[in-house]
């Protein structure tokens, strides 16, 4: 297997970023919704800290993924995919990236504006500032963006299934 993308297939690094993102989201999203219903306790703080560290790791992964994407070619689409499908696919992918950043940034702001410190893995930052209204706004953005992310991921998965099963397009094989 090659590390870089070719005209027919994604390389090992792109595949790694894709599936790592998927696996982390598979854990992060339910964990985030689980946190909402927990009563304040040491356990909730521990789970929230784990959720935050995973979120920061996903943020870094997404940054690296976009850098890798910018210096790498993308596999060429075959003639089975129509132009409008390519446009929708590109919009969905970019909305996934933007939404991942919105979730992370709003989560960071929620913690910082609550007077908590944020562990960025390489350093920790805290503000000596509290703003309840901005915390509430950050929370709303964080949860709404998470729901929007679920919608985008669902569209992404359904499109792959459609192309694989009904169009007999080798789209799935490019990412395996």
Per-block mean pLDDT, blocks of 10 residues, the chain (176 long): 87 96 95 92 94 96 97 81 88 97 97 93 91 95 97 95 87 79
- Tell me the three state secondary structure of residue 125: strand
Question: Is 78 within a domain?
Answer: yes
Signed CA dihedral, 12, 151, 161, 90: sign only: negative
Query: pLDDT value at position 75?
Result: 85
Question: Is 22 within a domain?
Answer: yes
- Number of structural domains the chain divides into: 1
Q: Tell me how crowded residue 76 is: count the other CB atoms within 10 A of its CB.
A: 8
DSSP class of residue 32? H
**Structural contact between residues 111 and 142, judged by C-beta atoms closer than 8 angstroms:** no
Query: pLDDT value at position 157?
Result: 95
Query: pLDDT value at position 80?
Result: 72
| Measured torsion, CA atoms of residues 139, 120, 17, 103, in degrees rounded to the nearest 10 | 10
Query: pLDDT value at position 133?
Result: 95
Question: Is 3 within a domain?
Answer: no
Question: Is 27 within a domain?
Answer: yes
Q: What range defines the domain where residue 157 resides?
A: 12-175
Query: pLDDT value at position 78?
Result: 67
Question: Is 70 within a domain?
Answer: yes
């Amino acid at each position: 297997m090659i590390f870089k993308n070719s005209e027919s297939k994604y390389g090992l690094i792109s595949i790694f970023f894709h599936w790592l993102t998927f696996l982390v989201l598979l854990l992060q999203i339910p964990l985030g919704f689980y946190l909402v219903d927990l009563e304040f306790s040491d356990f909730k703080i521990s789970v929230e800290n784990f959720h935050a560290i995973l979120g920061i790791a996903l943020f870094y992964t997404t940054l690296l993924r976009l850098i890798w994407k910018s210096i790498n070619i993308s596999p060429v689409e075959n003639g089975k995919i129509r132009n409008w499908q390519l446009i929708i696919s590109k919009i969905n992918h970019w909305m996934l990236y933007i939404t991942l950043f919105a979730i992370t940034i709003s989560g960071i702001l929620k913690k910082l504006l609550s007077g908590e410190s944020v562990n960025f893995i390489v350093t920790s930052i805290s503000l000596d500032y509290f703003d309840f209204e901005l915390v509430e706004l950050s929370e709303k953005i964080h949860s709404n963006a998470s729901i929007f992310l679920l919608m985008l991921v669902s569209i992404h998965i359904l499109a792959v299934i459609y192309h694989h099963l009904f169009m007999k397009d080798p789209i799935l094989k490019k990412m395996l």
